Amino acid sequence: MTTDCNILFYSDKLASFEYSDSHPFKPSRARHLMDLLNRYSLIFETNQKVLEPEPLDEELLYAVHDKKYISLLKQCNTGEFDISMLEAGIGTPDNPVVLGMYDFALAASGATHQGAMMLLNNEASFAFNPLGGFHHAGRNFAEGFCFINDIAIAIAECLKRGARVAYIDIDAHHGNGVQDAFYGSDQVLTISLHESGKSLYPWGGFENEEGIKDGTGYNVNIPLLAESDDEVYLYAFRELVPPLIEAFKPDIIFLEAGGDVHRDDPLTHLNLTSNGYRETLKMIKNFGKPVCATGGGGYDVYQTANLWATVWSVFCGVEPEDHFAGSVGGMMFGPETTSGSLDEPPFAIFGEEKNQCIDAINQVIMAVKGKIFPLHGIKV
């Protein structure tokens, strides 16, 4: 029986790493998360542990990445650019050459792997690595701020150990790197809910991308029209995800808990609030499987930390308590301090815009139920 232990991976050193002052990807989100967990008394239970990430064993990289590519990443670690890096997507504005980049990526990836192994070994029931979630990295290239695909590496190791894996990606961006890694496997069920590739990078992740060979029907994309709100998102999730998880019966669930679905995110166009995000997390927890969660995207650093505090709260089963509410001056943190709560008011779109979002997701739901559900023996 799995022990009731919740693991959070955190490192001040990793949270202080920067791609550049102007780069939108900010590992400092993890530090803001820790501030919130302390403020809301979410990190003091006896069944909670905070662990320092351990660097990934380099040999594990090669289950997912080419050796030539990793060699280029090692060069990148010195902070010196070489023209040959561009072919691998390194040295671009999105994926800059930064001193210590390989060390950072190795440590961030190590935490995801360590968390997954603790789950498989029944040492924990939930593991959260807010510094991980690099779901865009490919076998021989970097993209979308991602250099090493920590999720795919950890999943590959789980498969070696005989586990069936479900991967649920609720980041606003399509999890293309993880999709590509297991597109032909029937041992990994990948489900990605994301803003449509018609309006957002990586410009794919459509419902007709269903897997190939043995993996046909094990890759499920649920693209949402830009501006979709909590109601549309939860409708899509409820209609498709629970039946697929129930039919697949995974041993472990990986969750990409990107915070860029929030309506305040500067790089995306969805309209979720903490309310829809929390309800989604509750449904995933209710699947009753060990969960290895990673951070992923989120470019409003305070709202992202807020959502990640909700991740920790939901999976640990601990309600936030703000002991600073009403105090003189309070604790100036970010948007959440205006209410003294991790909660926020509901928000919904209306009229023709709402109708368009519902019509679009209904087409996706019909496509998935029509083609993928029968492959899993799910009755419509």
| Helix (H) or strand (E) run with residue 191 in it | strand 188-195
Q: If DSSP states are collapsed to H, E and C, what string results for 119-184? A: HHCCCCCEEEECCCCCCCCCCCCCECCECCCHHHHHHHHHHHCCCCEEEEECCCCCCHHHHHHCCC
Cα 238 off chain centre by: 19
Helix/strand/coil for 332: coil
β-strands 48-51, 6-9 pairing:
parallel
Tokens representing 6 are 């919740």
> Do 253 and 292 touch, CB atoms closer than 8 A?
yes
Q: How many CB atoms lie within 10 A of CB 167?
A: 27
The CA dihedral of 357, 227, 174, 205, to the nearest 10 degrees, is 30
Amino acid at 355: N
Q: Is 54 buried (19+), middle (13-18) or exposed (0-12) by CB count in 10 A?
A: middle
122: tokens are: 């029944």
Q: Is 136 a catalytic residue?
A: yes
**DSSP alpha helices (H): ranges in 254-337?**
274-285, 301-316
Find the catalytic residue in 65, 113, 135, 136: 136
| Phi and psi, residue 194, nearest 5° | -160, 165
Residue positions annotated with a catalytic role: 136
